[in-house]
Chains A and B, each alone.
Chain A
Amino acid sequence: MNLEFSEEEKAFRAEVREFIENNYPQDIGTRGVQDEMSREDLLAWHKILGKKGWSTPAWPKEYGGTDWTPTQRYIWGEENARMNTVMPLPFGVAMVAPVIYTFGNEEQKAQHLPGIRSGDVWWCQGYSEPGAGSDLASLKTTAVRDGDDYIINGQKTWTTLAQHADWGFFLCRTDPDAPKPQMGISFILVDMKTPGIEVRPIKLIDGGHEVNEVWLTDVRVPATNLIGEENKGWTYAKFLLAHERSGIAGVARSKRGVEQLKEIAAAEMLDGKPLIEDMGFAQKISQLEIDLSALEITELRTLAGEQAGKGPGPESSLLKVKGTEIQQRLTELTLEAVGHYGAPDFRSFPDDGSNDFPIGPDYAHHAAPTYFNMRKTSIYGGSNEIQRNIITKMILGL
C-alpha cells in the first residue's frame, strides 16, 4: 500500500501543469456556461492538445495515444480541473474512437481517427430515442440495406451538442425479426450533413440549449459506414458505455468545485462572520470533502486494478452513482451559499456585451441554473437507478 505519487509522477505533474499554464487560451472558460460557448471555444483547447499529442491520452500508442499509465491520466485530469479547462468532448475521443480502433476496419480508422485527435471533427451520440431511454434495446430507428447503402429512418433524441456535430454514431435496427431486441442492432457512422437529417433544439430547464432531437428521413449512407458486423451493434454499444462511465465520476472537477464553494462561503457573511465559519455550513462542506476523498480513493483503487490489467467492469457503476451524487450535492450547497442572489435569472439581464452583470456577486449568477442542469447527471449515461440495478446483478449476483 502506498498512496504517494512516485518521483516520476510528480515530475509528470509539473510538466503538465507548466504546459497548461503556458498554453491554455485564457479567454475561454471564463465566458460563461458550456451551452453558451461557440464551437470554436469548445474546440480551442482540443486543437492545442491535438498538436501536442495530448488530446487522446487513453488511446493505444499506435493510434496516437500517449502510453500514459492510468495514474498519469488521473494526474492529467486533476491538473486540467485545477485550471478549469474546457476539455475535449467525450463523444469523439472517449466514446466512438475506442469503438473505431477496436472494431472498425483500416479504412475507418484512417478516415476518422486523425480528425478526432486533432479536434477538427465534432461527433455526437445517437443512441436514445423518445421510446428508448433506459431500455435502449427497444430502439426503433431502422437502417435498411439498399445496394451499397443503408437507408435510415427514425428519430433520435437528447443528442448532446448535435447542433455543432460533423459526424454522429447511431444505433439502428437492421433486423426487425431478431429473436431478442438486443440482436439486430447495428452501429453506423453518419455524416451529419447527409440530406434527410434535421436537428431540432430542445430547451432544458436551465434555459440552455445543449440537447437536440435528430430526425432522420430516408437518410442514405454508404454501407461502408457500418462498424464491425451487421446486427452486432449492441456489443459495441455496451463496450462504449463502459468507457463512458469510467470518466463520469468527475473527482477532479468536484475537487475544484469544492474549492470554489469554499471561496463563496468565505465571501458570504452570516451573523457578521464568513459563512464558512458557521458550524452547520462547515459541516456540510466537510461531509462533501470526506465523501469526495472516499470516491477518489475508490477511483484510484479501480485505476490500480486497470493498471494491473483488469478492465473497467461493473465498479464503474459505483463511480458513476457516487460521483454524480457528489456533483449534485455541490451544486445544492453552492445555491444555498449564495442566498437571495440565487433567484435572479442572469439570462434576463440586459446583454450589453460586457461580462459585468451588476446584480449580485458574479459567483451567484450560475448557481441556480447549474443546480437545475446538474440534475441530468443522475439521468443520463444510464440513470442511477439503472446503475444500481447493474450493481445488484453484476456484483451482488441477485
Chain B
Amino acid sequence: MDFDFTDEQNMVRDGISRLIREEYDFDTRRKVIASESGWRPELWAQLAELGMLAAPFSEEDGGFGGATEAMIIMEEFGKGLAVEPFIPSVVCAGGALKHGGSAAQREEYIGGIISGEMIFAFAYAEPRGRYDLANLETTAKADGGDYVINGHKAVVIGAPWATHLVVTARTSGGQTDKDGVSVFVVDKAAQGVSTRDYATVDGRRASEVYFENVKVSGDALIGEADNGLPLIEKVVDEATAAVCAEAVGAMKVTNETTVDYSRQRKQFGTPIGSFQVLQHSMADMLMEYEQSVSMCYLATIKLDEDDATRKKNVSAAKVRIGQAARFIGQSAIQTHGGMGMTDELAVGSYFKRLSIIESEFGSVDHHMRRHIALTAG
C-alpha cells in the first residue's frame, strides 16, 4: 500500500496550489466571472508556462504524467473554484487525442493544448441525450473523403473560450446504437459552426453549439470511424475522475470554512460550534469528505485498468462523491444561517459549484444505474 505522491507530483501540487492561492483569491474570482470574457487567459498562459497543461500527458506526447497529475491539479482548482477550462481542454480533448489520435493529430493538437495556444471544448452532450453518450442526434455524413456535420450540442463548457472542439457524432446506425459513433476535431472558426454563449449558475461559461453542414476533412476523425464509443467512454470516465477531484478540493475548503465560521459566530452567548447538533453535522461533513478522498483516489488509480473495472470504480466514486457534495454543500449553508444564503460569502459559491458537480458527467442516479449494470449477476 502506498498513498504517497512522488516528488514530481508533489511539485505539481506545490506549483498549482501556490498559483491558485496567490492569483485566485475569492474577490479576484468574483471579478473574473463577472467580466466580459469570464476567465483569465493570462492565467492559462501561466499554467502553460508552469507545465501544468502538460502534466497529464505522457513523455512521448510532450508531457510528464497522467491521471494522478490531473487529479492533483483539479483538486487545487476545486479549492480555488478556478473556472479555467482544464477539464474540457486538457482532460477531455487531450484525452481523446492521446488515446485515439494519430501521430500527426497528437503532435499538432496535443502540442497546441500543452502550449496553451489551442483551447478545446468537448461537445458531447445533447439536448435530449441526458447522460447517454451514445444517444446522438448530431450526424456526420461521409462525403467523399470528407464528413459533413449537422446537429446541436448542449451546455458545452468552456466553448466561448475555445479555439477548437472535439465533437461526437453519429456516422451510422440509429439514434442510440452503440456502434456508429465517431469523434472529430473541429476548428471552432469553421464555416457552419455557431454558438450561443452564456454563463452557468456556478460561474463558468458555456455555449449551445450548432453545426450546420460543417465540412471537415477525413483527417479530422479521431480514432476509428463508427467505433468511437469506447474512446468517448474512457475520456468521460477520466473527466469524471477529474471532476471528482475538483469536488474533493471544493469540499475541503467548504468544510474548513464551516468549522471556522462555527467558531466565530456567536449566538446565545456562545459559539454556534458548541451546539452538539452542529458538531455532529460537521463530523458527518468530515467523514463524507474523507470517504470522497478515498473514492477519488480509487477512481483515479483504476482509470488504466480494463473497461469494466474502470467503469465500475468511476461510477462508484461519482455516486459517493455526488452524495457527499450535496450533503456537504447543504450542511455548510445551513450552518452559516442567513449569511450562507448571501452572494457575498464564498461558501455560497462552493455550494453552487458542488451542486452542479453532482450531475456533471452523469448524476448520482446515472452512475448508480451503471454500477448496478456492471455488478449485478
Contact = CB atoms under 8 A, between A and B. Distances in A.
Interface of A: 128, 131, 133-135, 138, 157-158, 202-205, 207, 211, 268-272, 275, 278, 280-281, 332, 335-336, 339-345, 347-349, 358-360, 368-369, 371-373, 375-376, 378-380, 383-385, 388
Contacts of A375: 330, 333-334, 340-341, 351
Tell me the interface secondary structure of chain A in the complex: mixed
Contacts of B343: 203-205, 207
Interface in B335-354: 337-338, 340-344, 348-349, 351-352
B341 A133 contact: no
A155 to B, nearest CB: 14
Given A345-B201, A376-B341, A340 B334 contact: no
B253 interface: no
B198 interface: yes
Contacts of B341: 204-205, 211, 373, 375-376, 379
A128 B155 contact: no
A380 B341 CA distance: 11
B199 interface: yes
B298 interface: no
28 contacts: A134-B272, A138-B268, A202-B342, A202-B344, A203-B343, A204-B341, A205-B342, A205-B349, A269-B128, A269-B130, A271-B132, A339-B363, A340-B125, A340-B127, A340-B130, A342-B201, A342-B359, A343-B356, A344-B199, A344-B201, A358-B196, A359-B198, A360-B127, A368-B355, A372-B201, A375-B351, A379-B334, A379-B341
Contact of A134 (B267, B348, B352, B359): B267
Contacts of A203: 342-344
Given A205-B352, A207-B343, A345-B199, A383 B337 contact: yes
A342 B356 contact: yes
A339 B131 contact: yes
Contact of B338 (A341, A349, A368, A379): A379
Contact of A336 (B277, B340, B359): B359
Interface centre among B196, B206, B330, B337 (most CB of A within 10 A): B337
Contacts of A131: 266
A344 B198 contact: yes
Contact of B351 (A205, A378, A388): A205
B277 A388 contact: yes
A343 B206 contact: yes
Contacts of B198: 344-345, 348-349, 359
Contacts of B202: 343
Contacts of A269: 128, 130
B225 interface: no
A203 B132 CA distance: 37
A344 B127 CA distance: 12
A355 B131 CA distance: 28
Closest 6 CB pairs of A and B: A348-B199, A205-B348, A135-B267, A203-B343, A340-B155, A368-B201
Nearest to A280: B365
A360 B351 CA distance: 23
For chain B, the bracket of interface size reads: 35 or more
Contacts of A388: 277
Contact of B356 (A207, A211, A278, A368): A368
Given A358-B196, A359-B208, A339 B340 contact: no
B176 interface: yes
Contact of B365 (A135, A281, A371, A383): A281
A270 B130 contact: yes
Contacts of B278: 385
A202 B348 CA distance: 13
Contacts, number: 136
B368 interface: yes
A215 B42 CA distance: 42
Contact of B267 (A133, A157, A207): A133
B155 A372 contact: no
A372 B332 CA distance: 13
B122 to A, nearest CB: 13
A128 B125 contact: no
Contact of A280 (B125, B333, B368): B368
B344 to A, nearest CB: 7
B154 interface: yes
Given A375-B334, A379-B341, A385 B275 contact: yes
B338 A128 contact: yes
A340 B277 CA distance: 35
A348 B131 CA distance: 25
A272 B176 contact: yes
Contact of A204 (B272, B326, B330, B342): B342
Contacts of A332: 326
B340 A379 contact: yes
B355 A380 contact: no
A336 B352 contact: no
A268 B275 CA distance: 43
Contacts of A336: 359, 363, 365
A270 B355 CA distance: 21
A360 B196 CA distance: 12
Contacts of B199: 344-345, 347-348
A341 B267 contact: no
A269 B341 CA distance: 33
A134 B268 contact: yes
Contacts of B21: none
Contacts of A345: 198-201
Contacts of A272: 176
Given A349-B198, A368-B355, 17 more contacts: A133-B267, A135-B268, A203-B343, A211-B338, A271-B132, A280-B369, A335-B355, A342-B201, A342-B359, A345-B200, A358-B196, A360-B155, A372-B348, A372-B351, A380-B338, A383-B334, A385-B277
Contacts of A204: 341-343, 348
B77 to A, nearest CB: 17
Contacts of B200: 343-345
B376 to A, nearest CB: 14
Nearest to B326: A332
Contacts of B369: 280
Interface centre among A272, A335, A375, A384 (most CB of B within 10 A): A375
